[in-house]
Amino acid sequence: MTAIRNIKNRSHSSSSRGNGNNKLVKGNKQNRSDGGGEVGFSLKLILPTVISVITFICFSYTLKCGFVHWDDQVYVYENPFIKSFSAQNLKMLLFHVTTAGNFHPLTMLSLAINYHFSGLSPMGYHLTNIILHIMNTILVFVLFVRLFEAMRKAAYPWFDSDRRLSQTNGEGNSIIFWLAALAALWHGIHPMHVESVAWISERKDLLYALFYFSGIIVYLKYLESKTVTIYFFLLALFLLSLLAKPGAVVFPLTLFAIDYLLKKPFSKRAVEEKIPFFILSLLVGIYTYSLQSSQGAMTASFDTFSFGQRILFSTYTFMMYIIKAVIPVHLSNFYPYPRTGASGMLPAAYLLSPLADVIIVGLPLYLAGKAGEDYKRLVTAGFLFYFFNVVLILKFVTVGGSIINDRYSYVAYTGLFLIAVIATNELFRKFKSMRYPFIAFLSLYSVLLCTACYSRTRVWYSTQTLWEDMKDKFPMTIEDPYSELAEYYRTQGVVNPAYYDSALANYEILKNNWRPKSAGIFSNMANIYALKKDYAKAFESYSKAIEYQPSDTNAYLNRALTFMDMNQSRLALPDLDKAIMLDSNLVQAVQNRAYVNYLTGNYIESIADYNHLIRLNGSRNGEFLYDISINYRILKKNAEAITYAEKAKQAGYSLPVGYLESMK
């Protein structure tokens, strides 16, 4: 039966210089290299390699995961445009919105390449996502190394060789590499980043971050050289990031945060250098908006909630992303908006979030200010980096049904990692007697992140595991997990009927809590009851579907089929008549009515229906001509019966042996 769906160093020299009497000059800064000589060079290779291996292990389970029914069908397995590199498909992928109102042509091109090599095998897509994530993790390492080197040149004290963390082991400025490695490790293994990697449809996060991080690295180079070539290379990287995901529009704001961190003056030239980036952001934004508007994909709203509520949503999301950066627990693919009381009052966590934000940002700034101007500048720059990269998703404008999305942390957390690793360095330096307990704590914390990350990847194994997890985290809050699971179990029931009971349970919850008059839900439940041969409940559910949607042709047809399964064919005729009245070209209804008319002795009506079928479905003419012949034979009109039997034979239908002869 038909089921009605309703629903990603340069070395100066290590040789010692004499002071005239062949004695080594202790502490001569000319003896030290920017990268710690051979030790620094080895760390630049060993640390990112080890981090890459750890990151791969943390995400290795995703290679076992499949597609999930949460945009993957739109992006991949039901998307016709990625299935060949025809001119028309490339035009659609590169210049049009082909995925639920989102414009990211570079991402779609990467998925098309994946399809070319992997088809619909999900492992290829997941492996590509892991590789991109590891590349981004390495880029974070390089970014922090370059950033710390630039900060040292900007006279930040933490990287001075006389104050370095490693001054007791003679490793030069290897502290830069260790701190960069810590930031990169946390980026690679953070559980909040699982959604961007394990979810195939989030390839856009990984791709835009690839060019975003590369752009920051190139910008640091540009600040040293100020060459036109590097500037245009930087613009190209920014454009690629935009084409992977329009969320990259905040990139020029991030560059201002970098300028502030490196003590660059806020000058006219500094602003003018950013203007082309803002222009690119504006152009891509306008083009994306026009495409989305033309397809009715703009769903942002200022009207769903009051101004005050939207302010609290913004402060709450700002707070929660930071909290989950430190304590990534109770993660979900979907975080429902809060329920409000009759007065519109939000829960306490939302009401207190402005105060929490003041403490979360104000306390570190206060402590940093007391420690010195450099500390204050660092903390400010880190928070600016974070804020600029979450500002568009702070839910002041209502977009989508989830108030938080793990994936939006992917780039934004870089600013928080900057604050965290420098704070780690200072604590380590000031409390040297606690060095080993502190190392043990950092190691344990990182191991816990690894464990949580790997555990989170298992949630993305299938549509079932994903939405069951969300349902467990937020039971009876929104209908999405129940509708997704109901559809999943219904389709799986075709292979394993044991799933039908789970489908019915979820449909019952949907019906009782959110959609009491949904014809689609009642039709789907009725179909399942019919397959389970619970005809009484099937009849009841079909009747409800018809009550709530009298124009539902499939409900009439399926109720008629239920009567036929119950050997009450005569009772099926009114429903078949109604279905055909609503849609005279509904082949299945006409064919079943022809058969019911035959069973109930309405042979002339049966012949009329079979003639109608011949006009509707020429591919089965032989079969229908034979059925007409049978009706005429029963009516004892042998001449007509023979004529139609011969026509059936000419149409390629194999007549029973002796059929024609029996009528001569």
137: helix, strand or coil: helix
Q: 278 by DSSP, 3-state: which?
A: helix
DSSP-derived letter for residue 398 is B
- Which DSSP string corresponds to 570-627? HHHHHHHHHHHHH-TT-HHHHHHHHHHHHHTT-HHHHHHHHHHHHHH-GGGHHHHHHH
Distance (Å, whole) CA 442 – CA 433: 16
Which residues, other chains included, contact 542 with Cβ-Cβ below 8 Å and sequence gap of 6+?
A: 522, 523, 526, 555, 558, 559, 562
Res 307: pLDDT: 85
Report the C-alpha gap between 160 and 153 in whole angstroms.
10
Contact 301, 397 (CB under 8 A): yes
Question: Which among 83-97, 98-112, 411-425, 562-576 has the top mean pLDDT?
Answer: 411-425
On average, the pLDDT of the chain sits at 87
What pLDDT does 292 receive? 61
CA distance 381 to 41: 29
In whole angstroms, what is the distance from residue 81 CA to residue 55 CA? 32
Strands (E), 404-482: none
Other CB atoms within 10 A of residue 330 CB: 9
- Cα dihedral 41, 42, 43, 46 in deg (nearest 10): 140
The candidate with the shortest Cα–Cα distance to 525, out of 552, 488, 500, 499, is 500
The H-or-E segment that residue 364 falls in is: helix 353-371
Question: Residue 188 in 3-state DSSP?
Answer: helix
**Per-residue pLDDT at 402:** 86
Find all residues with CB under 8 Å of 631, minimum gap 6, and list them: 598, 603, 604, 606, 607, 610
* For residues 517-525, average pLDDT: 94
Q: Max alpha carbon distance in the chain (Å)?
A: 131
Answer positive or negative: Cα dihedral of 272, 274, 276, 282.
Answer: negative
Strands annotated E in 43-84: none
pLDDT at 9 over 60: no
First to last CA, the chain: 41
Please give the backbone phi and psi of residue 208, each rounded to the nearest 5 degrees, phi first.
-65, -35
Q: How large is the C-alpha radius of gyration of the chain?
A: 33
Q: Whole-angstrom Cα distance, residue 598 to residue 603? A: 5
The closest of 228, 230, 210, 229 to 219, measured between CA atoms, is 230
Instruction: Please tell me the distance from the alpha carbon of residue 575 to that of residue 558, in angstroms, as a whole number.
Output: 9
Residue given tokens 């966590």 in the structure block = 349
pLDDT given at position 220: 96
Task: Write the single-letter amino acid at 313.
Answer: F
The pLDDT of residue 87 is above 70: yes
| Residue 366 clears pLDDT 90, i.e. is over it | yes
> How much is the pLDDT for 26?
36
- 338 in helix, strand or coil? coil
Q: What is the mean pLDDT of residues 370-391?
A: 95
Quote the tokens at residue 344: 């519109």
Q: Which residues contact 334 (CB under 8 A, 6 or more apart)?
A: 401, 402, 470, 474, 478, 480, 481
For residues 215-228, average pLDDT: 94
Report residue 92's pLDDT band, with 50, 70 and 90 as the boundaries.
confident
Domain ranges of the chain: 35-459, 479-550
Q: What is the pLDDT of residue 17?
A: 34
**Residue length, the chain?**
664
Measure Cα distances from 439 to 416, 418, 444, 446, 563 in Å. 20, 18, 9, 11, 73
Helix (H, G, I), strand (E, B) or coil at 63: helix
Residue with tokens 């039908």: 500
Q: Provide the b/e sequence for 353-376 (b: ≥16 CB within 10 Å).
A: bbebbeebbeebeeebeeeeebbb
pLDDT band at 38 (very low <50, low <70, confident <90, very high): low
User: How many percent of the chain have pLDDT more than 70?
Assistant: 88
Q: What is the DSSP letter of 77?
A: I
Paired with 99 in beta bridges are: 102
Q: Which CATH number fits domain 479-550: 3.10.129.10, 1.25.40.10, 3.30.950.10, 1.20.120.1780?
A: 1.25.40.10
Higher confidence at residue 225 or residue 287? 225
pLDDT at 4: 30
**Least confident window among 151-165, 226-240, 352-366, 534-548:** 151-165
- The half-sphere exposure of 356 on its side-chain side, counting CA atoms within 13 A, is 18
pLDDT for 20: 38
| For residue 399, pLDDT beyond 90 | no
pLDDT at 160: 64
Residue 65 DSSP class: -
Q: What pLDDT, on a 0 to 100 scale, did the predictor assign at position 499?
A: 94
Q: Encoding tokens for residue 203?
A: 């390839």
pLDDT digits (tens, 9 = 90+) for 615-639: 887 677 889 999 999 999 999 999 9
